[in-house]
A = this chain, B = another copy of it.
């Protein structure tokens, strides 16, 4: 029952872009350093996020990445779905499943995984990047 690092790293990157959200693009190198991630690897992840329309890129010197929408309008679910594929603990509970499982319609254990999927989706879709930034601020307050 595991996530890959893709979702985790990708979310960290998006969170970083949200924390520093402005009109100026942020170079990936900066993000990678701040979040301590491999830049080359992160490149691959953010490419997927760009193709999905969650970030915009600006090429050339002084270039970088910016969120395509304000942090309030991007949820963790959006990010995770791009990087990890559809949320589905098992293939056959994916919304996109076109399968050949002969027990499809009366598989009881399948119903269990469908419930799990729904609860994961609910959580991920209920948290925006802005929520994460807010939480970070609160934690910072408590420290002082």
Contact = CB atoms under 8 A, between A and B. Distances in A.
Q: Name the prevailing secondary structure of the A interface residues.
A: helix
Contact of A108 (B15, B87, B113): B15
Interface residues of A, number: 36
A90 interface: yes
| Listed residue (A12, A87, A116, A127) with the most chain B CB atoms within 10 angstroms of its CB | A116
B3 A3 contact: no
A69 to B, nearest CB: 19
Interface string A115-135: 110011011100100001001
A11 to B, nearest CB: 5
Contacts of A106: 136, 139
Number of this chain's copies in the complex: 2
A8 B113 contact: yes
A103 B36 CA distance: 10
B112 A2 contact: no
16 contacts: A1-B3, A1-B85, A1-B89, A1-B120, A2-B2, A3-B90, A8-B90, A11-B112, A106-B136, A111-B135, A112-B124, A112-B127, A112-B132, A115-B123, A116-B120, A116-B123
The 6 closest A-B pairs by CB, nearest first: A3-B89, A119-B119, A1-B84, A11-B109, A108-B132, A119-B123
